[in-house]
Amino acid sequence: MYLYGASGHCKVIIDIIKSSTNKTIEAVFDDAVKENTILGIKIVDFKKNDNYKIDELIISVGKNSTRKKMVEKLHANFVSVIHQTAIVSKFVTIDVGTVVMPGVIINASTKVGKHCIINSGAIIGHGCKLNDFVHISPSASLAGNVTIGEGSHIGIGAIVIQGISIGKWASIGAGTVIINDVPDGAVVVVNPGKIIKINTFL
């Protein structure tokens, strides 16, 4: 299999694959190659990949909007990986390209979309819906029946109470407690959460 994006986020995904699967990482592609290897895996300029038959691929880039752009321009067999220490209910569905990191808990009846990042120690309650390209940061917690719109980022240690709906491409600051629904593009900080800006690029 292959990864695309030789960043710090890539290092965590390499660790997940090596510790929790029997898959072999053939190479890491990147658009701006600065080093020859990353954690012992060779880095290859993506524009010079003619000799590679890409059978399985994960986009190893942390920024949600960049992942989406990369997915839209690539035609690949995207796969997901789950760290062996994650606790994922058998009643959870996880779509392609998503990465579940160490210590994550995902409870029953939750649906996780494509190319999401569920970062270390995050807790996802029952009945949640995470749309495509969402990033749940380390130690963030979603109570039951929370919906997160496409591309939204939930910051480290943030808390979202039960039944809340967060719109598309919103950004929830580190440690923020969300007690009300959040509209598309909103940037929310402090406790309880306060909208400080609405991004209009959507």
Give the pLDDT of residue 49.
66
Q: Do domains 2-73 and 82-198 have the same CATH topology?
A: no
Q: Which amino acid is at 68?
A: K
The reported pLDDT for the residue numbered 52 is 67
Catalytic residues, by residue number, are: 126
CATH class for the domain made up of 2-73? alpha beta
DSSP string, 45-94: EGGG-TT----SEEE----HHHHHHHHHH----B--EE-TT-EE-TT-EE
Q: Tell me: the pLDDT tens digits for 35-90?
A: 899 999 999 988 776 666 778 999 999 999 999 999 998 888 999 999 999 999 99
**Amino acid letter, residue 80:** S
Give the span between the Cα atoms of 178 and 166, in whole angstroms: 9
- Say which CATH architecture domain 82-198 belongs to: 3 Solenoid (2.160)
Most confidently modeled range among 43-52, 133-142, 193-202: 133-142
Q: Give the start-to-end residue ranges of the domains of the chain.
A: 2-73, 82-198
| Residue written as token pair 């959040």 | 182
Least-confidence region, from 20-24, 171-175, 180-184: 20-24
Q: What b/e readout covers 64-77, taking b as 16+ CB neighbours within 10 angstroms?
A: beebbebbeeeebe
